[in-house]
Chain A
Amino acid sequence: SQTIHQWPATLVQPVGSPLSLECTVEGTSNPNLYWYRQAAGRGLQLLFYSVGIGQISSEVPQNLSASRPQDRQFILSSKKLLLSDSGFYLCVGGGGFSYEQYFGPGTRLTVT
């Protein structure tokens, strides 16, 4: 199984400021990695996924971007945050033969 580490747990940022959320994976190599945003009553919205270093697929056009500089590192970024970027962001690992997904603890982002 995989262990997903994600930080920070909470973050309050002003509008227009940059963002960098980091996620690292332990316990496997070459995982599929995902960024989801969870909103109450709306489930989990897939934002980005990556099947390898430097490979990023974007699911929803928006103010955010993702990068995968190392096999077990996945970063969610923004150059200028919007109020609408507030939410709960989850880093998720997957891709094993069990097809199970492993969830990080999440980051609660509040843009003020």
Chain B
Amino acid sequence: AQSVTQLDSQVPVFEEAPVELRCNYSSSVSVYLFWYVQYPNQGLQLLLKYLSGSTLVKGINGFEAEFNKSQTSFHLRKPSVHISDTAEYFCAVSDTGGFKTIFGAGTRLFVKA
């Protein structure tokens, strides 16, 4: 069975500082990996995804993530955050059949001025 662990429930950071949100997964089969973002009072939207190819994936709003198969990780990074990045971020894993997507518990990123 697949599972996703987001290692930090909350990450406070100052504006313009770098940030890394950690995600580890477990699966016995090949997977696709995703990061979704939920801004306050809004629905979830896709931030970026890894299906194949380059292990460094770039998404919207300056975010990127790196797939590390040996460490079964898919950490999300941004070199300089803005107040508007304050949101909850969800890591997700899908089997390559695409039938089921399992989500992590979420990491709340709080950017302070």
Contacts and interface: CB of A to CB of B under 8 A. Distances in A.
A2 B49 CA distance: 17
A43 B106 contact: yes
A51 B100 CA distance: 10
A43 B105 contact: yes
Interface string A8-32: 0000000000000000000000001
Size band of the interface chain A makes with B: 20 to 34
Chain B interface helix/strand/loop/mixed: strand
Interface size for chain B: under 10, 10 to 19, 20 to 34, or 35 or more residues? Answer: 20 to 34
Interface in A34-51: 34, 36, 41-44, 46, 49, 51
A105 B106 CA distance: 18
B102 interface: yes
Contacts of B9: 41
28 contacts: A32-B98, A34-B101, A36-B103, A41-B105, A41-B106, A42-B105, A43-B4, A43-B6, A43-B90, A43-B103, A44-B103, A46-B100, A46-B102, A94-B98, A98-B49, A99-B32, A99-B34, A99-B49, A100-B34, A100-B49, A101-B34, A101-B46, A101-B92, A103-B43, A103-B44, A104-B43, A105-B43, A106-B43
